[in-house]
Structure 1
Amino acid sequence: MFHSARFINTFSIAIAVLVGAGASQASAQGRYWPTHEWRYSSPEAQGLDSEALADALDYVRDHGTRIHSVTIVRNGYIVLDAYFWPFQNGQLHDVASVTKAVTTTLAGIAGGAGAFKGPSQTLASIFAGQPIANLDERKRRMTLKHLMSMTSGLDCRAAPGEFTLWQMRETKDWTQFMLDLPMRDEPGSRFEYCSGGMHLLSGAITKATGVSALDFARRKLFSPLGIRNAIWPADAQGISYGWGDLRLEPRDMAKLGYLWLNNGRWEDRQLVPTDWMEAAIQPQALPPNTNQRYGYGLWLHQYRQPSEFEAVGRGGQRITVIPERNLVVVFTGGEFEPSDVGALLGRALKSDQSLPENQSGTARLAAAVRAAAMPPLPASYISPLANKVSGRRYALAANPLNLKSFVLTFVDAADPQLELEIGDRRDGPRPIGLGGVPRLSSGGPSGLPVAVSGAWKSEDSFTIEYDEVGNINAYRLRLRFTDTGVEVTLSERSQVISSATFRGTPQR
């Protein structure tokens, strides 16, 4: 057994669950490939904890984290596959700079097919017969490997705001613009994040194969993997954008990760040459001011244990591969940092062996996945459960706030109330603002006013924000009501106390 809170801090695991597919499929005999469809498994069957995943999903929804989807594949089975409103299952998503890893993979496939002589082939030989400005000896030494590892030596500027990329896009022929740039460094001597260089690589693929990177991918990559739905824009010359804007479904992104996990092999075919794939996940460049390394379009985290590599795109797009754990994690998002939920998600991976099945955890996770896909409830929504819990005192287990009990009152829908028992004193009842605007009341714990707001996040989940305002402390209580009581998750914004989850029982 092992516990890993750290392996996910880079991108974090995220959330999705197999409802109905279940562990029975995990016991299918023999090796399979997800060419036609993925197989599904319960988290526990693959060593993950469904309760921990449900906790993470609840956190994402309660905090409005801008995740669009998360897909987790372990041992070849999807154990989590969640979609967050308004993004929906089956939709394409712009994978941003994850595209770069697809472009370098296609270059490897083209090399295996004989279109390139290998990663050390020079750009000058690929574009022989084509006019190239500033063709000095350094540029003559620039190779495919240098483009793929962001060490071309071209005078390509990442700052400010991908400056050279935007310059390139203002020209009539983007590939020619990049090919004509003057050299700034000896090829291979310095890392410079250069999206335009990846577009030049896409142009080289077209020059060598006679088709666009998209058409080449459809024949040699997407079709063998069973990827049927992809959009990849092209420039005026028909060159697919080598740096970004490829659009795929999240489960198809996971197929790419699974290909890389299996060293470029798919079914009985070595789609990407073994030596090319091995080089892609080895350090080829040392980006400054970071302990990360760069391979061929992939970011490497070899300092972590276990080590991992990933394709990264702006906004939270990720395909992360952890070979030692036989794990692929895919995120799409609308501008979020996956590590924001890493600590929560890191609790999910428990073992390299199967865990005992957890029916209640699986049911809770299934409910959380369904809730993630639904539009948020209106601020004025009152759950039918409110009548059942209204006026009932819940006695609470030990917790960092020494909160002994609470009472919620929903008799008047326009004026709900909260009463707390904290240590040896009673606080409230206080009015709760339900419309996103906290209600202010006097006489807080420090003698200063308190602002309280609340919202039903689902039919069985009510979240309270208790803000002492001038006293800095701001507490969040997420109450999930069950048939036997309530589960409380407590946190404090400035972390003056530790977060905790504990139970409460109704008093008779």
Structure 2
Amino acid sequence: GGCKPTEPTYTTDLPISTPEAEGVSSAAILQFVDALDQGENEIHSFVIVRHGKIISEGWWNPYGKDLRHTMFSVSKSFTSTGVGLAIAENKLALTDKVASFFPESIPDTLSAYMKEMTVEDLLKMSTGMDTDPLFQAMGSTGDWPKIFLSTPIQHEPGTVFKYNNMATFMLSAIVQKATGEKLFDFLKPRLFEPLGITNVTWDERPAGFTLGAIGLRIASNDMAKFGQLLLQKGKWNGKQLIPESWIAAASAAQIDSSDPENTNPNESNDWAQGYGYQFWKSRHNSYRADGLGGQFILVLPEKDAVVVLTASSVITQDELNVVWDNLLPALQPEPLPEDKAALDKLTARVASLAVSKTTSVQPDAALLARIAGKKITCAQNELGITALRVDLQQADARIAFERDSVRSEITAGPDTWKLSDTQFNTLNAAPRTGQTQPIKMAATYTWVDATTLKVSARFVEEAISSEVWLFQFKDNGTVQVDVKPEPAGMPFGRPVVYCKGRLSSPAEFLACYFYAYWVSQRRRRAKNV
């Protein structure tokens, strides 16, 4: 009983228990799942861990237990762990000067503030810079540390909180300089392998540094293991993997994180509770790893619980509010009586989760006959697509598109997601050069009306939004194809494309032009990548 942290012995996976056995009612978790599913935000998965055991988990189709999810800034908390481990091995110190690790990247003039900036200033997001140099660096294959070291600093380092992605990249580069290993490689034997985490990737920069700030892809259950390790103060199967003192420091409020641009009152704002070493403090004496679009590892020490969420959220505060309003009150100190009926109801609800549920109308039979086997040829366009073909002969739709001699194909399920392997990570560009590993793509199609076909493709390990192709077949023999991201409010939207086509002969549609423009994106909180 009680809420004392437990330290069970783990094999590869966290053990499974029932909600009631760990002091949580299945009915309350069902209410939590309903609130997630019915809210404005699109949720992809949840995992609830209580007393070291998974008591409930679920994935919204096409997301799944065995698939990695892109983590955005949750990556930063793993980078912090690498820094803590390097410090524990006496490879570097909090007080080390940032510039000292990069003698080959020192600009002609190094500002006085830059000379004084320390590893701890990077960890606390207190570089003193008003702008984040990452956005300048992203288009460059050059010397990223030099770009950082050349950036003007407006405030004394260590004094002002300002979210800075490049600061975290620099921490990754410092770990590599101090240990001789890339951050990802350094963490493998020290963190990932002891936790049994093998299904994980992390993007690199051209110079060979682990990206650090973003770019980690990991499965939800593996996020939960990391959260449980933090809850156990760094101890796993009797071994201290991370120093307890590091987790205490990293998860403490090291600097005031309130932001004048965020209009939420501080007492209801999970971004105003303080910032640690690449972790955010949260309400209710909790802390979290936090990534764009609602990726969370929420650690609740007072409740001996961990909550993992992956999502494509536009308003991430609302996502956390679902935890505070529905789940937090349900975490009771003692086991509850078994409630098989409620547990069965929860199990059935979780099994039916999907990110978008559609029901097709009956398509126009004459239209189906008219487009069967037809090719839509395209004039020169910004996306480089030369031809399209829509095959609806079988239950699954096959959408083929060509870029010169390279042919790509989507297989989409009728009102259900169909998972397949591809070599490209967007419909709007050719496959990446050097792409060796297949990329997971899910696709579905629905008839919006008798003559409008909507095809949604989602690169489930690469992105958190869909790319939607809307084919509108007109009575006069034209076809218009609109390409857009979905949900529409998500940042980093793909280009929106309009393609108009005309039936020029019985054998083909002629698509004349593609127009692409970037959708303007507006989010309530724009600082956190």
Q: Does the alignment reach a TM-score above 0.5?
A: yes
Question: Per-residue deviation at 1:60?
Answer: 3.8
Residue identity opposite 1:367 in structure 2: A
Question: Per-residue deviation at 1:329?
Answer: 0.5
Question: Per-residue deviation at 1:129?
Answer: 5.9
Q: Do the aligned partners of 2:7 and 2:237 also contact (CA within 8 Å) in 1?
A: no
Q: Structure 1: 5+ residue runs without aligned partners?
A: 3-29, 159-163, 382-434, 438-508
Question: Per-residue deviation at 1:139?
Answer: 1.9
Residue identity opposite 1:45 in structure 2: A
Residue identity opposite 2:249 in structure 1: A
Question: Per-residue deviation at 1:223?
Answer: 1.0
Q: CA–CA distance in 1 between the matches of 2:251 and 2:329?
A: 26
- Aligned partner of 1:121 in structure 2 is 96
In structure 2, which of residues 131, 143, 153 is the aligned counterpart of residue 157 of structure 1? 131
Q: Do the aligned partners of 2:75 and 2:212 also contact (CA within 8 Å) in 1?
A: yes
1:365 paired with 2:346, answer: yes
- Aligned partner of 1:146 in structure 2 is 121
In structure 2, which of residues 295, 301, 310 is the aligned counterpart of residue 317 of structure 1? 295
Q: CA–CA distance in 2 between the matches of 1:192 and 1:273?
A: 27
- Aligned partner of 1:87 in structure 2 is 63
Question: Per-residue deviation at 1:111?
Answer: 1.1
- Aligned partner of 1:281 in structure 2 is 251
- Aligned partner of 2:136 in structure 1 is 167
- Aligned partner of 1:295 in structure 2 is 276
Q: CA–CA distance in 2 between the matches of 1:205 and 1:184?
A: 26
Closer, same or farther: CA 63–436 of 1 in aligned 2, 3 Å: farther
Closer, same or farther: CA 111–369 of 1 in aligned 2, 3 Å: same
- Aligned partner of 2:85 in structure 1 is 109
State TM-score, norm by structure 2: 0.61
Q: CA–CA distance in 1 between the matches of 2:22 and 2:249?
A: 29
Q: CA–CA distance in 1 between the matches of 2:13 and 2:64?
A: 18
Question: Per-residue deviation at 1:371?
Answer: 0.9
Closer, same or farther: CA 245–177 of 1 in aligned 2, 3 Å: same
Q: CA–CA distance in 2 between the matches of 1:139 and 1:35?
A: 46
1:330 paired with 2:311, answer: no
Q: CA–CA distance in 1 between the matches of 2:11 and 2:151?
A: 41
Closer, same or farther: CA 55–121 of 1 in aligned 2, 3 Å: same
Root-mean-square deviation (CA, aligned residues, Å) is 2.6
Closer, same or farther: CA 93–354 of 1 in aligned 2, 3 Å: same
SS of alignment partner, residue 70 of structure 1: strand
Residue identity opposite 1:68 in structure 2: H
Question: Per-residue deviation at 1:33?
Answer: 3.6
Percent identity of the aligned residues? Answer: 31
Closer, same or farther: CA 207–334 of 1 in aligned 2, 3 Å: same
Residue identity opposite 2:204 in structure 1: A
Q: CA–CA distance in 2 between the matches of 1:377 and 1:45?
A: 37
Residue identity opposite 2:218 in structure 1: L
1:356 paired with 2:325, answer: no
Residue identity opposite 2:26 in structure 1: S
Per-residue CA deviation, residues 186-240 of structure 1 (Å, 9 max, x unaligned), is 1111111000110111111111111211111212211111111111110111111
Q: CA–CA distance in 2 between the matches of 1:346 and 1:374?
A: 21
State TM-score, norm by structure 1: 0.64
Q: CA–CA distance in 2 between the matches of 1:327 and 1:56?
A: 15
Closer, same or farther: CA 235–86 of 1 in aligned 2, 3 Å: same
SS of alignment partner, residue 46 of structure 2: strand
Q: Do the aligned partners of 2:75 and 2:214 also contact (CA within 8 Å) in 1?
A: yes
Residue identity opposite 2:75 in structure 1: T
Question: Per-residue deviation at 1:255?
Answer: 1.2
In structure 2, which of residues 177, 180, 205 is the aligned counterpart of residue 235 of structure 1? 205
- Aligned partner of 2:429 in structure 1 is none
Closer, same or farther: CA 300–366 of 1 in aligned 2, 3 Å: same
Question: Per-residue deviation at 1:374?
Answer: 9.1
Q: CA–CA distance in 2 between the matches of 1:140 and 1:378?
A: 61
Closer, same or farther: CA 346–167 of 1 in aligned 2, 3 Å: same
Question: Per-residue deviation at 1:343?
Answer: 6.1
> How many residue pairs align between the two structures?
347
SS of alignment partner, residue 66 of structure 2: coil
| Structural mapping, 1:342-491, within 5 Å | 342=323, 345-346=326-327, 349-372=330-353, 376=357, 378=359
Q: Structure 2: 5+ residue runs without aligned partners?
A: 260-265, 267-271, 363-446, 450-529
Q: Do the aligned partners of 1:134 and 1:183 also contact (CA within 8 Å) in 2?
A: no
Q: Do the aligned partners of 1:35 and 1:224 also contact (CA within 8 Å) in 2?
A: no
Q: Which has more radius of gyration? A: 1
1:222 paired with 2:192, answer: yes
Closer, same or farther: CA 378–344 of 1 in aligned 2, 3 Å: farther
SS of alignment partner, residue 289 of structure 2: strand
Residue identity opposite 2:299 in structure 1: V
Residue identity opposite 1:167 in structure 2: Q
Q: CA–CA distance in 2 between the matches of 1:63 and 1:151?
A: 35
- Aligned partner of 1:185 in structure 2 is 155
Closer, same or farther: CA 62–145 of 1 in aligned 2, 3 Å: closer
Question: Per-residue deviation at 1:377?
Answer: 5.8
Q: CA–CA distance in 2 between the matches of 1:199 and 1:347?
A: 34
